[in-house]
Amino acid sequence: MNAVLPMSFSRTIQTRLVLPPDTNHHNSIFGGKVLAYIDEIAAITAMKHAQGEVVTASFDSVDFVSAAYAGDMIELEAIVTGTGRTSMEVYVRVVTRNIKNGSKKLTTESFVTMVAIDEQGKPREIPAVEPNTEFEKHLFDTGPIRQEHRKAKRALSKNRRG
């Protein structure tokens, strides 16, 4: 497959309201709830790029920077930042917006690896990705470093099991 798509083709944005059932005893959103939102938007973003079904291969990193509280809005933005033959790295950024004063703050950043699959659930080839903005170029150019880290982590896990 020789197709190349711009990163912007996959860009996905979601806004959610943090409700009391989503929060813990500190009135802040459960980390697991944020992870579920990240997984969902990463999958949607990867499906847009792959133009088909995908599965989550790994959460490569999740950095919780600040909390979101009941009544806040969280805005998730995701983009495919790199591709292999069948896999995609998806960058997800979560920002909290306080609806009372309009302030915004970074809440979470994450990289998720998704794999495109065919009707039989087997990996299938996907288009390459091309950055356009400076931020996209930064994410694209630093992708090989993250990929090496993922490979090393996988090898370490295999050694522990073996």
pLDDT in tens, 52-76: 999 999 998 899 999 999 999 999 9
pLDDT of residue 66: 96
Determine the CATH number of domain 4-161: 3.10.129.10
Give pLDDT tens digits for 28-39. 999 999 999 999
Who has greater pLDDT, 89 or 1? Answer: 89
Task: Report how far residue 37's alpha carbon sits from residue 79's, in angstroms, rounded to the nearest whole number.
Answer: 14
* Beta strands at 73-83 and 54-64: parallel, antiparallel or unpaired: unpaired
pLDDT of residue 41: 98
Give pLDDT tens digits for 125-135. 999 999 999 99
pLDDT of residue 115: 98
Phi, psi torsion values for 22, nearest 5 degrees: -85, -5
Residue 157 has pLDDT above 80, yes or no: no
Mean pLDDT of 113-140: 96
Say if pTM beats, i.e. exceeds, 0.95: no
Angle at 123 between CA 83 and CA 56, to 5 degrees: 70
Nearest by Cα to 84 from 62, 41, 105, 114? 114
- Taking a C-beta distance cutoff of 8 angstroms, is the pair 117, 123 a contact? yes
- Taking a C-beta distance cutoff of 8 angstroms, is the pair 79, 91 a contact? yes
Give the three-class secondary structure for 35: helix
Mean pLDDT of 83-102: 96
